[in-house]
């Protein structure tokens, strides 16, 4: 009985930059990009291909991989094909690429190719014949529909490059001048003349030299038995081969190998093993199992957030008020931070804005620049008018942050003067020093600590974790973004900065983000949800309050007619479309009051009354690939993360009441609740009219699933699979 060869119709090898690929068979041969970006040279043009894209290797043309990003992984995938074409004047070939055919990177064919890669590299030994071939026939069927064409037989170009490539690819076959002539649709005599003219040697001599050339490489780099190698390179008679070899090298094959061996071991097998190891480390999901006791919960500290509105053009604008109301319907807006600059905005604008904040029960947090004493007096008088207007109770809830680029005796004295005047009105008013960036202001913090008598006058110190753009590097902002994406490293940097203080004064983190004031597409991507949660997870317990960089995409007259998505860092776009950051904070707000456990990327809480909540995310730091190019394509966001891994979590919760639980899964990710990805589904326009905006607002929501589970033994087990960049909120509610 013949043993079934499961992979007989599929061949896959990993490629690298500078490789050349040809196809001299009827088979469908593709190059598929799993990650990164590659530049490919065809006959007379070049193209680039990225994540999930592919191209068919044209017949009788050598295709070269010119360049590849460091994070790129791409593979040659060959699928056996037998043409049923009965027209002797035409032949069936596959040609084309996913770009020109309008094949999206998440199309059925692209996903099937990706699944075939996973099957080959992760489950090659355990995969069944049915599983492999069902996927194989699905791929062939899709290729036949879009990529199969009929060509005239005489259209294959007879060239030196094509002959060399054909012979290299078929060196082990029984080659002849007649057979080569048939391949290129010319007569035997024409092929003979071509060989002598361009190779200055007969076909048989040239073929013999090519076989010896291949044999030299195999003898020097492998320990495969010589007899096997002889047949592998196309020699059919051992006695004849031995005579030819000794005549050419004046040595036996064994003697030649002993003098030229470069390494021990089969290089082909080693290369294939490295390819398997690379793919498995790249694609295999991380797996974690947890078991927690529900009775070991403790009261958790409620996070206190600050929301920044730093663009004064937004004050007094109806659209600003409308967007704040929308955000407040999703989140608790406790404190709003904004600059009090009466030189740029008249008092009437601040009056209107403060009335709005009082009506919405939002505490004002005002920032005052200490550099101008005249302006400071005007600000002080305005604050006195607010005390008269709103009364001591309301005024006592204000936060006043004084900022100065330098710390000197003059600025410290000015701070004391203003703070004393304000405390005379309300001793509960919070006054503090700000403008300390963890990336640049260690010396400045040391200077502040030198004024030991100042501690009794300071209610808080405000620091920020916003990247500083370094000059003159062309990609400096993105280099800083890559560094800032490493949340654990930034957390350590914050700890080092706080250690300088040597004070009991509480700290406020007034703002954090991957980017500073510069625009960057990463702010509109699904990446930001996991980043925000990871940052809060590692840092919010260190501060009395913690602020995100910006409440709104900075509103200004200059940007009013710009595109909807321009890389700003707000929770909503300029027209009020919710971004993933807003949903991430919403997920965080739904956690219960009692903490059961907190692990890296996982929080489990309870209300101690039959409800439990799991919040999990799959945040990854960015790779240097993100800073390597000026043109960032958000379609390829997974190329930028350190590991494009899924995350498998198995969470067991013990000592919970038996009964029926309703379980609600809320999922946030590239295809679930991300405004930019949702907009791309329906329009290629950069600006949206009212109808499109209303439509998108109805569509931009995380995905929700529900089920019921029975608990009989006081144990609850939930398995979660998070794709790259994905966030999942799981809420368990016991039904009475």
What percentage of the chain carries pLDDT values higher than 70? 89
In order, the DSSP letters of 601-615 are: TEEEEE-SSSEEEEE
Q: What is the mean pLDDT of residues 670-692?
A: 88
Please give the mean pLDDT across all residues of the chain: 85
- pLDDT tens-digit series, residues 224-237: 788 888 888 888 88
Most trustworthy range by pLDDT among 27-36, 300-309, 350-359: 350-359
Number of domains in the chain: 3
Is residue 228 exposed (0-12), middle (13-18) or buried (19+ Cβ within 10 Å)? Answer: exposed
Domain boundary among 121, 153, 185: 153
Q: How confident is the model at residue 629 (pLDDT cuts 50, 70, 90)?
A: low
Domain that holds residue 14: 1-153
Contact 502, 549 (CB under 8 A): no
Q: Which residue, among 568, 529, 564, has the nearest Cα to 552 in the 3D structure?
A: 568
Residue 507 has a pLDDT of 96
Whether residues 227 and 327 fall in one domain: no
Q: Which pair of tokens denotes residue 22?
A: 């040809």
Q: Which residue, among 329, 365, 311, 303, has the nearest Cα to 582 in the 3D structure?
A: 329
Whether residues 129 and 191 fall in one domain: no
Most trustworthy range by pLDDT among 39-53, 408-422, 440-454: 408-422
Q: What is the mean pLDDT of residues 676-698?
A: 89
Asked if residue 350 has pLDDT above 90, the reply is yes
Q: How confident is the model at residue 598 (pLDDT cuts 50, 70, 90)?
A: very high
Contact 724, 641 (CB under 8 A): yes
Residue 282 has a pLDDT of 63
Q: How confident is the model at residue 642 (pLDDT cuts 50, 70, 90)?
A: low
Whether residues 373 and 429 fall in one domain: yes
Tokens 């039904």 appear where?
735
Asked if residue 265 has pLDDT above 60, the reply is no
Domain boundary among 116, 137, 153: 153
Tell me the residue length of the chain: 736
Whether residues 257 and 118 fall in one domain: no
Give the orientation angle of helix 188-199 with respect to helix 203-221, to 10 degrees.
60
Residue 264 has a pLDDT of 43
Asked if residue 440 has pLDDT above 60, the reply is yes
Q: What is the mean pLDDT of residues 666-686?
A: 88
Whether residues 195 and 323 fall in one domain: no
Whether residues 231 and 302 fall in one domain: no
Q: How far is CA 178 from CA 158, 173, 175, 189, 508, in A?
A: 15, 14, 8, 9, 83
Contact 621, 698 (CB under 8 A): no
Q: How confident is the model at residue 86 (pLDDT cuts 50, 70, 90)?
A: low
Which of 106 and 569 is assigned the larger pLDDT? 569
Residue 209 belongs to a domain with what CATH number? 1.10.10.60
Q: Which residues contact 513 (CB under 8 A, 6 or more apart)?
A: 465, 466, 467, 484, 523, 548, 549, 550, 569
Asked if residue 153 has pLDDT above 60, the reply is no
Q: Which pair of tokens denotes residue 448?
A: 């502040």
Q: Which residues contact 73 (CB under 8 A, 6 or more apart)?
A: 14, 33, 34, 35, 36, 278, 279, 282
Cα atoms in the Cβ-side hemisphere of radius 13 Å centred on 399: 28
Residue 321 has a pLDDT of 92
Residue 36 belongs to a domain with what CATH number? 2.60.120.10
Asked if residue 367 has pLDDT above 90, the reply is yes
Whether residues 372 and 498 fall in one domain: yes
Asked if residue 489 has pLDDT above 50, the reply is yes
Determine which of 70-84, 118-132, 715-729 has the lowest per-residue pLDDT on average.
Answer: 118-132
Residue 584 has a pLDDT of 96
Residue 70 zone, left/alpha/beta (φ > 0; ψ -120 to 50; rest) = alpha
Q: Which residue, among 22, 15, 19, has the nearest Cα to 62 in the 3D structure?
A: 22
Residue 41 has a pLDDT of 92
- pLDDT tens-digit series, residues 563-578: 888 888 899 998 999 9
Cα atoms in the Cβ-side hemisphere of radius 13 Å centred on 222: 19
Residue 410 has a pLDDT of 92
Residue 540 has a pLDDT of 92
Whether residues 617 and 696 fall in one domain: yes
Domain boundary among 257, 284, 311: 284
Determine which of 157-171, 434-448, 650-664 has the lowest per-residue pLDDT on average.
Answer: 157-171
Q: What is the mean pLDDT of residues 107-134?
A: 83
Asked if residue 1 has pLDDT above 60, the reply is no
Asked if residue 474 has pLDDT above 80, the reply is no
Asked if residue 295 has pLDDT above 50, the reply is yes
Which of 30 and 474 is assigned the larger pLDDT? 30
Residue 220 has a pLDDT of 80
Residue 665 belongs to a domain with what CATH number? 3.20.20.80
Asked if residue 704 has pLDDT above 90, the reply is yes
Q: How confident is the model at residue 551 (pLDDT cuts 50, 70, 90)?
A: very high
Whether residues 482 and 585 fall in one domain: yes
Q: Which pair of tokens denotes residue 330?
A: 């999703």
Whether residues 267 and 401 fall in one domain: no
Whether residues 222 and 99 fall in one domain: no
pTM confidence score: 0.66
What percentage of the chain carries pLDDT values higher than 90? 44
Whether residues 273 and 297 fall in one domain: no
Residue 472 has a pLDDT of 47
The conformation of residue 524, written as its DSSP 8-state character, comes to G
Determine which of 160-164, 300-304, 330-334, 482-486 has the lowest per-residue pLDDT on average.
Answer: 160-164
The conformation of residue 82, written as its DSSP 8-state character, comes to -
Residue 622 has a pLDDT of 81
Q: How confident is the model at residue 200 (pLDDT cuts 50, 70, 90)?
A: confident
Asked if residue 2 has pLDDT above 50, the reply is no
Residue 645 has a pLDDT of 66
């Amino acid at each position: 009985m013949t043993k079934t060869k499961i992979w007989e119709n599929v061949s896959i090898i990993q490629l690298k930059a500078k490789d050349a690929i040809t196809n001299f068979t009827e088979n469908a041969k593709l190059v598929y990009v799993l990650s990164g970006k590659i530049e490919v040279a065809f006959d007379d043009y070049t193209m680039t291909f990225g994540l999930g894209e592919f191209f068919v290797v044209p017949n009788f043309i050598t295709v070269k991989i010119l360049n590849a990003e460091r994070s790129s992984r791409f593979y040659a995938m060959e699928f056996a094909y037998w043409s049923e074409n009965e027209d002797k004047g035409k032949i069936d070939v596959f040609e084309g690429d996913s770009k020109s055919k309008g094949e999206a990177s998440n199309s059925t064919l692209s996903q099937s190719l990706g699944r075939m890669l996973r099957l080959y590299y992760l489950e090659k030994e355990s995969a069944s014949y049915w599983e492999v071939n069902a996927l194989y026939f699905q791929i062939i069927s899709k290729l036949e529909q879009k990529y199969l064409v009929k060509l005239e037989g005489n259209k294959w170009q007879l060239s030196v490059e094509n002959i060399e490539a054909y012979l290299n690819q078929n060196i082990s076959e029984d080659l002849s001048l007649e057979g080569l002539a048939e391949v290129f649709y010319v007569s035997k005599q024409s092929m003979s003349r071509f060989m002598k003219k361009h190779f200055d040697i007969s076909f048989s001599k040239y073929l013999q030299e090519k076989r010896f050339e291949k044999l030299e490489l195999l003898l020097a780099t492998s320990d495969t038995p010589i007899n096997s190698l002889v047949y592998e390179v196309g020699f059919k008679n051992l006695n004849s081969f031995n005579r030819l070899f000794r005549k050419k090298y004046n040595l036996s094959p064994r003697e030649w190998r002993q003098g030229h061996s470069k390494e021990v071991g089969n290089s082909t097998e080693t290369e294939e093993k490295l390819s398997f190891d690379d793919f498995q480390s790249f694609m295999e999901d991380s797996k974690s199992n947890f078991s927690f006791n529900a009775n070991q919960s403790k009261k958790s500290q409620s996070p206190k957030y600050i929301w920044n509105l730093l663009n004064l053009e937004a004050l007094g604008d109806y659209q600003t008020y409308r967007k704040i109301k929308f955000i407040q319907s999703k989140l608790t807006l406790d404190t709003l931070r904004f600059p009090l600059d009466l030189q740029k905005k008249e008092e009437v604008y601040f009056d209107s804005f403060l009335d709005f904040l009082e009506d919405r029960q939002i505490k004002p947090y005002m920032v005052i620049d200490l550099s101008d004493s005249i302006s400071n007096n005007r600000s002080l008088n305005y604050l006195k008018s607010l005390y008269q207007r709103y009364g001591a109770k309301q005024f006592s809830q204000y936060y006043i942050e004084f900022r100065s680029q330098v710390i000197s005796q003059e600025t410290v004295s000015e701070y004391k003067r203003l703070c004393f005047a304000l405390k005379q009105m309300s001793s509960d008013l919070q006054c503090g020093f700000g403008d300390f960036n963890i990336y640049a202001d260690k010396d400045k913090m040391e200077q502040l600590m030198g004024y030991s008598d100042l501690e009794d006058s300071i209610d808080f110190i405000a620091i920020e974790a916003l990247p500083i753009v370094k000059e003159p590097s062309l990609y400096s902002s993105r280099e800083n973004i890559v560094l800032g994406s490493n949340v654990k490293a930034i957390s350590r940097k914050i700890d080092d900065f706080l250690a300088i203080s040597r004070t009991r004064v509480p700290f406020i983190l007034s703002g954090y983000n991957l980017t500073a004031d510069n625009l960057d597409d990463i702010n509109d991507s699904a990446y930001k949800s996991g980043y925000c949660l990871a940052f809060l997870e590692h840092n919010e317990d260190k501060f009395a309050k913690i602020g995100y960089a910006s409440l709104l995409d900075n509103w200004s007259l200059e940007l009013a007619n710009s595109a909807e998505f321009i890389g700003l860092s707000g929770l909503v776009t300029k027209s009020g479309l919710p971004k993933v950051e807003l949903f991430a904070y919403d997920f965080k707000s739904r956690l219960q009051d009692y903490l059961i456990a907190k692990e890296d990327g996982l929080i489990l809480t309870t209300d101690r009354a039959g409800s439990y909540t799991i919040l999990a995310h799959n945040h990854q730091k960015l790779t240097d690939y993100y800073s390597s190019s000026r043109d960032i394509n958000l379609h390829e966001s997974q190329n930028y993360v350190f590991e494009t891994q899924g995350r498998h979590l198995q969470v067991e919760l013990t000592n919970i009441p038996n009964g029926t639980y309703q379980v609600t899964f809320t999922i946030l990710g590239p295809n679930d609740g991300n405004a930019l990805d949702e907009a791309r589904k329906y329009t290629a326009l950069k600006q949206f009219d009212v109808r499109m905006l209303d439509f998108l607002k109805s569509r931009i929501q995380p995905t929700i699933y529900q089920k019921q589970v029975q608990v009989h033994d006081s144990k609850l087990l939930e398995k979660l699979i998070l794709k790259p960049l994905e966030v999942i909120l799981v809420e368990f509610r016991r039904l009475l």
